[in-house]
Structure 1
Amino acid sequence: MTLDADRIRALHAAKLRALARSVLDVELAEVSGTDDGALAVAAGAEPAVVCLAQERSERALGGALALAERTGCDDVHVFAEDHSGVLARRAACFVPAPVVWSIEGASATAAEPAPRPVEPTPPRVPELVSLLASAGVEIAVEHGVITGEVEGLEVARVVPAAPAAEASDASEGSGDIDPHDGHESATAWQIEVGVGAHDREAFALLHADEPTAEAIGRVAEVVRTHRSPGASPHPLNRMGAARWLRSLLIRRPELVDAGRLRAASPPVPREGPKELSPAVAYGLTPDGRRLVVVVCVGIDLDVVPFAADARLFLDPDAELTIVLPRRDAHDVIRAMAARLDSPAEIAEIDDEWRTLSTAGA
């Protein structure tokens, strides 16, 4: 039986009350159940924010910290069944650090921070990378995956070739190197064209005989038309807005007082181009200091924990800048950025940044 939204929220609230009682020995008077979990402020001599991260749990820390800022609480507790290690790793970047609890049945234990992830090595496929470059797309490498993008939107991806296609022109001679035995593995690679997995599959069925370079160019031109100043609203200019803005900043780093930037991997892999998440860049300030830039479009309370995790992943000693359109630079995000053990700078950019996409390119 499918539960309605009100029932789900009530169950989340009840679960948080039970956990707060059994683990923290506090009674929660008012609990706000949400689709993703529940939030409450535990009254007492030293009030505390208490949070249940039930769904999309890896994104729960920002909401808890935002409530702490609004209520003046320094004590924050987050209960999670999934991703508790990632939450604990991100929580350790703040002062004072929130406590993350890993739910175990009706109780919970303090979560251990997950180790910094290790980024996989991408396949060694110079001929496919050259093909992407010749098609006029931006080349991005994230968590070992090579993609071709237009204004931050993926239009092509390097994937393992299907068995029947391993001898095709697109994958010939593109075997990966196995670091364990020093010889080329049997893996062959090819380029699939399209925006997301379903689009790539459909494109392959409909345009199987089209040369890869022409196919990339054709899809890229469609995307470029929609991701340009003055384009009418369309799904292709609503997806991946943060990555579109990152693409602009890589071309024009001076907009956020950077000297040089390149695309970089987020701290956790994305599920696909439709996922709403910040984009990450890495580079240098104008005077040569190392810099991690995290770009977000829209109000995202979890952008600061995400950005702290991105710096930890890429370069823990780098400076950190969070880029937001002016209308999204909310005071609570600034307060959370100042709460980091190494505070982040907030860089505002014009709300009409899309009109800058071709200017000065």
Structure 2
Amino acid sequence: MVDTSVLGASIADPEGRRLWVLLDEDPERRLGMALAMAVRGGDAGAPNELHLICQNPGSAGVLARRASELTAPVHVWVANGPELTPAAPASPANDPAPPPEAELYRPVIAAAGLEPVVEGGELIGELLGLEVARVVVADDGEAHLEAGVGRFDREAGSMMFAHLGETDSVARAVDVVRRQRGPRTDRHPLNQLVPERWLRAVVVSRPDLVGASELRPVGSACPRRNLREAGVATAIGTAPDGTPMVVVCSTGVDLDLVPSASDDRLTHAPGARLVLVLPEADALPITRDLASLLRDTAEIVTIEGDWRSLTEVAP
């Protein structure tokens, strides 16, 4: 049976219990959806044998790395014309530290009431998970702090508030976001963006919710590219007994949660206890099905009720 979907073309062989899927768009983030198809078409809880075809060797390597963390039969192929060759798993991703020039701004970000977060080698300041400031290091090594929600807002702000100093610009941006991003504010674009990062901010401030003693936010193996892109938000830390933990937050329906979480564990703390955190309403059976396919197990923790209210923003 041939099908087309957001994944690309797929061919199912019910008798041989094999599923072939051509991933032609954003393939690194499509393993979870393909796995869900394999599980749905499988028998007695066992997924079909999954074959993923990708034209980009780099993307195929990331897929193969993620697939290597699963017990399910997943094969990744690189397409070169009519020929298919097995993809070798890419090395684990890294989350580099910011340059020393950027780190000088960490106390400035904290003093503004923001959470300093390192992501992809850059230092940003978040308010309840939303980026409000970022340290930008120029080619000559000079660093400066830009205020705004996302790149375009920072660029616009740098022109509109050029007369203000860095700390004043950040303070103004924080004030705008604080008024709109809170558990008791009316619906507004600023309180709808990156909810998974807001959930992470809640968990970092209340690590007891997930059985941790302390947590800090970290970047992901496949970082988000913009504020509207669905993704995961990860933190690392320890349990009360000192066991290392990787905690990955998600909201809504994100079928790539399990592969992304496992990949983030591989990046930050291979073999650590992995906890997937979801609002109670978003904990779907398919997430548990996919988590059961991991070689190293993962726990699922749900947050009941209005999780946004668990962290209030000081006036």
Same fold by TM-score greater than 0.5: yes
Contact 1:101 1:110 in 2 (8 A): yes
Check 1:359–1:195 CA distance in 2 against 1; reply closer, same or farther (3 A cut).
closer
Match of 1:320 among 274, 290, 294: 274
Q: Normalising by the residue count of structure 1, what TM-score does the alignment of the two structures yield?
A: 0.81
Count of matched residue positions in the alignment of Structure 1 and Structure 2: 307
Contact 2:230 2:254 in 1 (8 A): no
Match of 1:282 among 227, 236, 258: 236
Could you tell me how far apart the structure 1 residues matched to 2:124 and 2:141 are? Answer: 18
Q: Normalising by the residue count of structure 2, what TM-score does the alignment of the two structures yield?
A: 0.93
Match of 2:53 among 54, 59, 79: 79
Structure 1 unaligned residues grouped into runs of 5+: 1-29, 163-185
Could you tell me how far apart the structure 2 residues matched to 1:37 and 1:351 are? Answer: 37
Query: In the alignment, what sits opposite 1:230?
Result: 184
Match of 1:155 among 127, 132, 138: 132
Q: Which has the larger radius of gyration?
A: 1
Could you tell me how far apart the structure 1 residues matched to 2:9 and 2:209 are? Answer: 38
Matched, 1:247 2:218: no
Whose strand fraction is larger, Structure 1's or Structure 2's?
2
Structure 2 unaligned residues grouped into runs of 5+: none
Match of 1:133 among 101, 104, 110: 110
Please, which moves more after superposition, 137-146 or 125-134?
125-134
Paired AA for residue 62 in structure 1: G
Could you tell me how far apart the structure 2 residues matched to 1:103 and 1:237 are? Answer: 42
Query: In the alignment, what sits opposite 1:9?
Result: none
Q: CA deviation at 1:351?
A: 4.5
Paired AA for residue 134 in structure 2: R
Q: CA deviation at 1:357?
A: 2.0
Contact 1:50 1:64 in 2 (8 A): no
The percentage of aligned residue pairs carrying the same residue is 39
The equivalences for 1:73-112 within 5 A come to 73-82=47-56, 83-112=59-88
Could you tell me how far apart the structure 2 residues matched to 1:54 and 1:351 are? Answer: 38
Q: CA deviation at 1:359?
A: 9.2
Query: In the alignment, what sits opposite 1:48?
Result: 18
Give 3-state SS (helix, strand or coil) of 1:312's partner.
helix
The equivalences for 1:253-292 within 5 A come to 253-292=207-246
Contact 1:37 1:54 in 2 (8 A): yes
Paired AA for residue 140 in structure 1: V
Could you tell me how far apart the structure 2 residues matched to 1:67 and 1:34 are? Answer: 11
Give 3-state SS (helix, strand or coil) of 1:347's partner.
strand
Check 1:351–1:88 CA distance in 2 against 1; reply closer, same or farther (3 A cut).
farther
Paired AA for residue 81 in structure 1: Q
- What do the CA deviations read for 1:254-288 (whole angstroms, capped 9, x no partner)? 11222211001101232133322110000111221
Could you tell me how far apart the structure 1 residues matched to 2:133 and 2:280 are? Answer: 32
Query: In the alignment, what sits opposite 1:34?
Result: 5
Paired AA for residue 65 in structure 1: L
Give 3-state SS (helix, strand or coil) of 1:32's partner.
strand
Matched, 1:66 2:36: yes
Could you tell me how far apart the structure 2 residues matched to 1:346 and 1:223 are? Answer: 31
Contact 1:70 1:332 in 2 (8 A): no
Contact 2:271 2:296 in 1 (8 A): no
Check 1:201–1:358 CA distance in 2 against 1; reply closer, same or farther (3 A cut).
same
